[in-house]
Structure 1
Amino acid sequence: MRIFIHSSLSDLELSMAVGVVVGINNRVNSPELSKIISDVEDDVRKTMSIESLKNDELIRLYRNFYWRLGIDPTKQRPAQEALIRRILKGDGLPRINPLVDIGNVASVKYKVPVGLYDLRKIGQVDYIVLRRAADGELFTPLGSPKMELTRNQIVLATNDGRILHVYPYRDSELTKVDEFTSDVLIIVAGIRNVNDNVLFSALSEIEALCETLLNGKVLTHGLVNNNRSLDFSIKI
């Protein structure tokens, strides 16, 4: 399987830290994970506010990226900003399942969008590509009805046309992580001026927690940009 960014997006200077973790037990009950989530929530409340959030350097970069695509970031929040706002409003992070919770922790901690995809639901495909959507192309977002996309949106899609993600904020119902997920594709979504080290730090934390808390094993990881793709093989 190959993961790459389409050449038509070269002007946007996008990048992705990509990892594959296999053999996960996503049905464990980990008190350690609960503590990690609580600590991240406490840190957000101590160091951020609703008023100051829009001036945060990373949050501002992703907001500006949305404006460049013609998307209003005050109506469709970047994924990490939405999670941080949830904490600041007193709701805390949603508790979905251990793997999703780990992804949310990293997204909040490093202020970057994180996408998680069940590889067994993706199945055997030749490639996954980050590309522009076509007008009228259909996408089934998590927890919502199908929606029509426009060409100003960017999607992560398989070679057979299934859309996994609207970049960089919404994952698909088709490949969502559930309690039976054992093998996962992790995408940390980067844009221009977001340092690759930040993306890799978020990815590395997810991988480490998957190994220590969920008994997973990292199969491969790497940086994907306009000059570099990632290839891996997995039995599904």
Structure 2
Amino acid sequence: MYKITVSEEIKKACPVFAGAAVFAEVRNTAFCEGLWKEIDAFTNELTSTTTLEDVKLQPVIAATREAYKRCGKDPGRYRPSAEALRRRLMRGISLYQIDTLVDLINLVSLRTGHSIGGFDADKIQGINLELGVGKAGEPFEGIGRGILNIEGLPVYRDAAGGIGTPTSDNERTKMGLDTTHILAIVNGYNGTEGLREAAEMIQSLLRNYATSDGGTITYFE
């Protein structure tokens, strides 16, 4: 299993930070009808009970935005993924459909407000990951975004460099239809509240839709 540590930079910027990592053996598929029924149901619930202006006020999203500011990034320009996904739905734009693993991570992020990194575990270099702060000029290719300026963004690094930020994960470690092991990291910039529920939600969806036993959860801070 991976050893995940939190740098002093992050602890100073966000003293309450806590994380959860789910590691599981999985089988990915291009599309899952049952999962999309859940996504559509949540979309209807969200759009009928909230407003676009409320999105950034959701407690977990608000805490992540504050962490961005403290690390040196403008959350209005580089939105946390959970916020970006909710804003997309509130604008009447359907959630993009990628594959089952990506789609289920997006659903948990939407439901909880946690920005969640989803990685092909077999593409991670080494077993040590550290959550730090992005440096000026640090190379990072965001999934579907090209070169991303991660200076001032919280970033997980493996032995080869950055693999994930709350705004975007890296192309190098992205999941695909050939993914057989997943590492999903739930970022609790609001502390431990809701962290266990989010991790267990990932496990439940993996059991239901990715031919998995749900894997194991590791907590870190």
TM-score under structure 1 normalisation? 0.85
Distance 1:131 1:101, change over 3 A: same
Is the CA contact (8 Å cut-off) linking 2:68 and 2:153 kept in structure 1? no
* Residues 161-217 of structure 1: per-residue CA shift (max 9 Å, x gap): 321112x221000011111111000101111xx242412211111111111221113
C-alpha distance in 2 between matches for 1:52 and 1:128? 34
* Residues 54-99 of structure 1: per-residue CA shift (max 9 Å, x gap): 3333332222222222222222111111000111111121111011
| Equivalent AA in structure 2 for residue 155 of structure 1 | V
Is the CA contact (8 Å cut-off) linking 2:30 and 2:177 kept in structure 1? no
Answering whether residue 188 of structure 2 is matched by residue 210 of structure 1, we say: no
**Alignment partner of 1:174: what SS?**
helix
Matches within 5 A, 1:110-125: 110-123=112-125, 125=126
C-alpha distance in 1 between matches for 2:61 and 2:140? 25
Distance 1:52 1:155, change over 3 A: closer
Query: How many residue pairs get matched?
Result: 218
Cα RMSD of the aligned pairs, angstroms, is: 1.8
Unpaired runs of at least 5, structure 2: none
C-alpha distance in 2 between matches for 1:149 and 1:126? 22
| Equivalent AA in structure 2 for residue 189 of structure 1 | N
Max radius of gyration: which structure?
1
Distance 1:195 1:156, change over 3 A: closer
TM-score under structure 2 normalisation? 0.91
Indicate the residue corresponding to 1:229 in structure 2.
Answer: none
Distance 1:208 1:186, change over 3 A: same
Unpaired runs of at least 5, structure 1: 226-236
Identity %: 26
Distance 1:206 1:134, change over 3 A: same
